[in-house]
Amino acid sequence: MFLAAHALIALGMVIGAVLAVQAAARIGGPWHRQAIRGAAAIAATVTAGILCRLQPGVGSVWQDSTLRLWLWNMQGRCGQGRL
C-alpha cells in the first residue's frame, strides 16, 4: 500500500512536469529552460527512487535518505534558477 502511494505520487510528478514543459514551451524564453531543468530533476528523483527499491542491498535508510535529500535540494535549485 505504501509503495503504491509512492508510485502514484511519482506518476503525478512526472505528469505535472510534462504539462509544465508544454505550457512553458508556449511562453518560451527562460521559463521553458527552467521547466526542462525541473522536469530533469523530477525524472532523476523518480529514477533514483525506483533504483533504490529494485536493487538489493541499496535499501539502507541512510543511503536512501541522503540520495533523496540531495535530489530534493537539486529540484529546489532548478526551480529558483540557481543552476
What is the per-residue pLDDT for 53? 73
What is the per-residue pLDDT for 5? 81
- In this predicted structure, the answer to whether residue 48 has a pLDDT above a threshold of 50 is yes
Helix (H) or strand (E) holding 14: helix 2-27
Cβ pair 29, 35 in contact under 8 A = no
Q: How far apart are CA 31 and CA 41, in angstroms?
A: 15
Domain boundaries, the chain: 2-79
Q: How far apart are CA 24 and CA 32, in angstroms?
A: 5
pTM for this structure?
0.61
> Looking at the chain, how many residues does it have?
83
Q: Output the average pLDDT for the chain.
A: 76
- In this predicted structure, the answer to whether residue 81 has a pLDDT above a threshold of 70 is no
